[in-house]
Amino acid sequence: MEKEPDVGWGCSKANTAIIHPGHEEEPDVHPLRARLCKEGNTLWRQWARELDIPVKWPGELMVFFDGEEKTAKKYIKLAKLNKIPGVRVVYRDELLQMDSSIGPSALGAIYAPTAGMISPFEAVIAVVENAVDNGVRLLTEANVREVKVVDKRVRGVETTRGFIEADIIINAAGLYSDKVSRMAGVNSGFTVRPRRGEYFLFDENVKVKPKKILHTTPTPITKGVYAITTVHGNLMIGPTAEDLPIDAKDESSTSEKGLEYLWKESEKLLKELPPRTKVIRTFAGLRPEPPEGHWRIEAHDDPWGFVNAAGIRSPGFASAPAIAYYVLNLIKDKYSVNLAKKKRWNPYRSDIVRVKGRPLQEVDELIRKNPEYGEIVCCCKTVSKAEVVKAIERMKKIGVKTVTIDGIKFRTRAGLGMCQGSFCRWRVALLISQYVGVSLHEVVVKNDTYGIGEVKVLLNQ
């Protein structure tokens, strides 16, 4: 169950989208993070293939500048301890050939070839579509009000969509996992603090396109800034790292200060930055930061049946598939549940067939089968009507109650381009209106309506 109208709108939506190799985790301090990150990195390769998720594996370069080499080399030691393959130091001459977008003052880098990049929101959508296909029921707009415990056993959850009975509850509520944990009466001192990260996203059409995942070396003051070319071909720079008060769990605003900091840091990291006019979006995401950075993954006795996968901070996305298996084993062992593989388990899911990036001959064939592929709704990202209609169908199929413009954006990329939707948002809204059967002004964007009523509504009041 998910409190938002769609899946993946929390921490999963706005992050750096890296599948980390696992050489940044200290195994003696965070053994679980170190282990599951490495496993997750391997599992995502399989999942991305089976679930048709946009992903690439360029490897990453932790670039060091004057005075940073010693700090950077610490990660080679960690790589050895965590058995991460291929991590090594590269010096300037090799480095600048590996990625010519790096700034000339770089002295070298720690190269980790197993690092990858994913489309995080599409990954969540893909996993959920596959889960539903295998029998999972999704409840959106279901905000948990209460975890019901009777005789030290969980019985279900009271939500904004009614009471849902359950004998095992897994808390994967991200930023709100402390709240849900408290509802079940466990870890009463456990808190999740939002850590804000701001980002710049540039248009596809810029010259600066790092080949590798680039980032600065973490220092005691800064956490390291990334410069990457996303799986969709956009230059992205970020994040900042700013700890917010515990209750600021929806404070995902950007700030002049944060964005200026990013700009300065990336001027050092990159040889040149595109002009500011090529920025198509600035945004911020919140990472859930548990005390001392420790993940809380536990199957509890009291109440029996309550499982925490809480406070999953970085490298949470990279580790997610491994966390899932870990939780599964906890349930199996702790509660003696006999888990058997489904007979008709389908490991595959395919993505919406898209016009963009396809040879024109193939596009022509697509249109012969379905003329709606020949109607382009979003010009920046070449998204057709057929793709929007299919996204609506897929949202309905997984059980999304409210089809939102953002849901369409994350599934089709309509509105993610240079004009940021000023040409296509109303066209997408018209299609939702038509295919879902709601008035245009009632179509939902984010968590509110696109309009307040018919044009004369204020005069008629």
* Contacting residues toward other proteins, per CB under 8 A: 205, 250, 252-256, 259, 277, 279-283, 355, 360-361, 363-364, 367-368, 371-372, 374-376, 379, 382, 384, 418-423, 425-426, 430, 439-441, 445-459, 461
Q: Give the shortest CB-297-to-other proteins separation in angstroms.
A: 30
Quick one: which H or E segment has residue 308?
strand 304-310
How far apart, in Å, are the Cα atoms of 293 and each of 84, 160, 184?
21, 31, 22
Quick one: which H or E segment has residue 106?
none
The candidate with the shortest Cα–Cα distance to 415, out of 281, 283, 286, 282, is 281
d(CA 391, CA 399): 12
Q: 398-407: string of b/e by CB count within 10 Å (b at 16+)?
A: bebebbbbbb
Q: Rank residues 52 and 442 by Cβ distance to other proteins and give the closer one.
A: 442
Q: Rank residues 14 and 214 by Cβ distance to other proteins and give the closer one.
A: 14
Quick one: which H or E segment has residue 16?
none
| CB neighbour list of residue 164: distance below 8 Å, 6 or more residues apart | 1, 139, 142, 156, 157
Q: Rank residues 159 and 449 by Cβ distance to other proteins and give the closer one.
A: 449
Q: Rank residues 159 and 370 by Cβ distance to other proteins and give the closer one.
A: 370
Q: Give the shortest CB-444-to-other proteins separation in angstroms.
A: 8
Quick one: which H or E segment has residue 51?
helix 31-51
Q: Rank residues 337 and 457 by Cβ distance to other proteins and give the closer one.
A: 457
A 10 A CB-CB count for 189 gives: 7
Name the residues annotated as catalytic: 20
Q: Give the shortest CB-332-to-other proteins separation in angstroms.
A: 40
Q: Rank residues 312 and 428 by Cβ distance to other proteins and give the closer one.
A: 428
d(CA 447, CA 184): 28
Is 199:238 a contact under the CB 8 Å cutoff? Answer: yes
Q: Rank residues 246 and 452 by Cβ distance to other proteins and give the closer one.
A: 452
A 10 A CB-CB count for 155 gives: 16
Query: Exposed, middle or buried, 410 (CB in 10 Å: 0-12/13-18/19+)?
Result: buried
Instruction: Give me the residue label for tokens 């897929």.
Output: 394
Say if residue 303 is preceded by a cis peptide, omega within 30 of 0. yes
d(CA 51, CA 227): 27
Q: Give the shortest CB-242-to-other proteins separation in angstroms.
A: 13
Q: Give the shortest CB-376-to-other proteins separation in angstroms.
A: 4
